[in-house]
């Protein structure tokens, strides 16, 4: 019996598209704000990252906002992308983001360092897309 390779016609057990992930809110489209930071391709962030960017009430009182934090993410991602040598051939890069948050236990502002991961790859139709999230989201 001949075993089919993954490149032959075979029945898919499961397929989950980027469009479905966006529709299900597993990914959040942030392409508009990402354009302002210099991205030319569609950009999405993971739901895990989107939830982490929501400031709590004390942080809001310090001037923190979802939109401001989102801008920080796409801006830092754009800077990280520019830092990758053109001939590196890498489709992914890690970068850091620092969030200012109010620590209720200590009653002071703390700066939390988040390690983020950005990956460029093909979308559902083979078009270039970018996804940003935590390393464990990928």
φ, ψ for residue 54, nearest 5 deg: -70, 115
Where do the domains of the chain lie? 18-137
pLDDT score at 77: 98
Say what the pTM is.
0.86
**End-to-end Cα separation, the chain, in angstroms:** 36
pLDDT in tens, the chain (138 residues): 566 666 666 676 778 999 999 999 999 999 999 999 999 999 999 999 999 999 999 889 889 999 999 999 999 999 999 887 766 667 899 999 999 988 888 888 899 999 999 999 999 999 999 999 999 999
């Amino acid at each position: 019996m001949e075993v089919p390779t993954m490149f032959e016609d075979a029945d898919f057990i499961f397929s989950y598209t980027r469009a479905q992930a966006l529709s299900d809110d597993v990914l959040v489209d942030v392409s508009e704000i990402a354009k302002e930071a210099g991205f030319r391709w569609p950009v999405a962030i993971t739901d895990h990252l989107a939830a982490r960017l929501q400031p709590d009430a004390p942080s809001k009182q310090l001037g923190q906002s979802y939109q401001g934090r989102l801008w920080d993410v796409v801006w830092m991602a754009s800077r990280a992308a520019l830092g990758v040598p053109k001939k590196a051939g890498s489709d992914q890069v890690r970068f850091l983001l620092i969030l200012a948050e109010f620590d209720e236990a200590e009653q002071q502002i703390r700066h939390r360092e988040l390690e983020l991961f950005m990956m460029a790859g093909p979308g559902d139709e083979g078009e270039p897309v970018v996804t940003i999230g935590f390393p464990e989201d990928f």
